[in-house]
Each structure stands twice: as C-alpha cells, then as structure tokens.
Amino acid sequence: MHPLSRRDLVVAAGAAAAFGLTSRLVVDPAFAQKTAPPAKGFTTYKVGSAEVTAVYDGIFEKPHDPAFIANASVDDVKAAMTKAGLPADFVSISGTVAIVKNGGKTIMCDSGTGGQAPGWVSGGLAPNMKAAGIDATKIDTILISHCHPDHIFGLFDKENKPIYPNAEIVVSDVEYKFWTDPGVIDKLPEGRKGLARRIQATFPNWKNIRQVTGEAEVAPGIRFVLAPGHTPGHRAFHLSSGNQQLMLSNDTMYVPALNVANPGWRGQYDQDHATAETSRRALMDRTIADKVLVAGFHFPFPGVGSIAKDGNGYALTVNKV
C-alpha cells in the first residue's frame, strides 16, 4: 500500500514509540475508493499485554450538504477535507471495529454496520474478522458506545435475529433508556424514528444486554468514559494494561478531518451540540495530558493514533501499524 502525500501533522513520537507505532499520518489510496477497501482489512497491535485488532468494516462517502455543519459552509468542509489529505468532493466516514483480547476475554467494541447502514459500502467486518483469525462465536462481550446504525446494526440480521446471542452486550443505562422509551419516537427527527422502532422491537426482548451506570469497569481492563452529546448516553472506552493505555473515543470525534481540527463545528450527527463539544475537547485534552493513544471508530484505517494541540484546534496523527 502506498500512502498519499499530505500535509505533515504532529507526530506524537513518545506515545507512538511505546506502542511500536511510529509512522506519520498516512491514508491509503483505497480508503477513498468505494470499491477498494484496504488491501489488508485488519491489523493487530499491543497495549501492554492486551491485544487489539482493528477490523475494517466499510465506508460512507457522504455527499456534501449545507446543513451538515451548522456553523461552517460546504466550502469550509471541502477545505478541511483537503487539508487532511482526503478527497474534497465528499466527506469520508470510514468504520473500524476494535476487538480486544485481554484477561482471557474477547471484547468487541461496537458491532459495525452489519452491511445494513444506509449510505454505507460496508459488510467487511465478518470476512475481515475471519481473516484475522477471530471466531465470532467466541466473542464474550460487545461494548456499545451508542445506538446509531453504524454501531449496532451488526448485532442483528435483516430479520432482526441476533448475530451474537451468547455474547454479553453492555450499554450505558442512559443510552438504553433513551432509545427504548416508547415516547421518544415522536420526539425524534423522521430519519431516526425507524432506528428507535427497530431497537424497541429487539433490545427489550434480549436477555444478554447489561446496562451500566457511569464509568464502570465493563470488561477486563476496560472502563466506560462519559462522553455524552453525540447521543445522550454516548460512551468512550478506556483500555489500560500494565503501564500502557488506549482511549477508544468512538464517535466523540466522528469525522476527525472536521471536528478534531475544529472541535466547535456543530455537525448534524451530534444530538446536543454544546455537550458534544465539551465532551470532545475534554476527551482530547485527556489523551494529550495522559500521553495515551486514541482510537476512533471513524478515524482513517487502522483507526489509532495520537492527538496534539494545534492552534485553536487539535491535530490527529494516524499511525500505520
């Protein structure tokens, strides 16, 4: 794979070296092609004694929409995509699922699109997991950051039958109660009503869902981290093993080319703009202060890197692993 030439962003050498991740920010040309996913759809790295496998699921090449960012124009968005070294004629939103093996358990961090999320060219999770030697039937726990389609549609097939009936599914109590409240449907925008109906037709009938409060430990070495705003109960995941750490930021920065560099941009996917910005800044500041790597579900594959301050915003370095 050959990296695109691009503006040199900050290289957080100390943190990257601790994980054996030393490349500058690169994006494979295949990343921008609907029909050409990465040549190798998974990569594995270590966080202490924990093993993390980043598994590529797919990409949403979102058409430009003046309403997408309330306080930025389409030209602003195009300029930000260009600055990040990505195509400017659409917004690249990829999906990478992290699967962690730690403490004798296999933990999936969100379940991907299931090949069912509208607008996505996806469905790569299952074959890429198989190629990585990960047996889907051996997954012990699935952590759910929030209930948007690209994060939960991998839990069920098109007939709503569960894909992982024997795995424990862990979600914040705030998120679960929001989406399963029958009264929420009338409060949601039209495009989210079907999502709520699907959740209400499935989740309450499943016996393997565990709701957790606050920042509990939810799997060996992994704790939930409060990061609301994108949705009411959105959570990041913090992995700690030995003296190493990884923050799985999930959708706190869901289009890094836009809302890492411009954390105050108010995207339509954030349900509560002000709270989402507060969570975004706090999580990025924490990763900088603690000198830890950060992974994002929508970061360019393989989805792990480092955050640094960059003027009034921040800069993301995605590491090649």
For the segment 141-159, what is each residue's pLDDT rounded down to a tens digit?
Answer: 999 999 999 999 999 999 9
Q: pLDDT-based confidence at 169, cuts 50/70/90?
A: very high
Domain chopping of the chain, boundaries: 13-318
- CATH homologous superfamily for the domain 13-318: Ribonuclease Z/Hydroxyacylglutathione hydrolase-like (3.60.15.10)
Q: Give tens-digit pLDDT for 53-70.
A: 999 999 999 999 999 999
Measured in whole angstroms, how far is the alpha carbon of residue 141 from the centre of its chain? Answer: 17
- Pair type for strands 141-144 and 50-62: unpaired
Distances (CA, A) of 264 to 122, 181, 191, 199, 245: 29, 30, 24, 30, 27
Q: Please tell me the pTM assigned to this model.
A: 0.89
Q: Give tens-digit pLDDT for 85-111.
A: 888 999 999 999 999 999 999 999 999
Distances (CA, A) of 282 to 63, 162, 237, 275, 298: 30, 35, 14, 11, 19
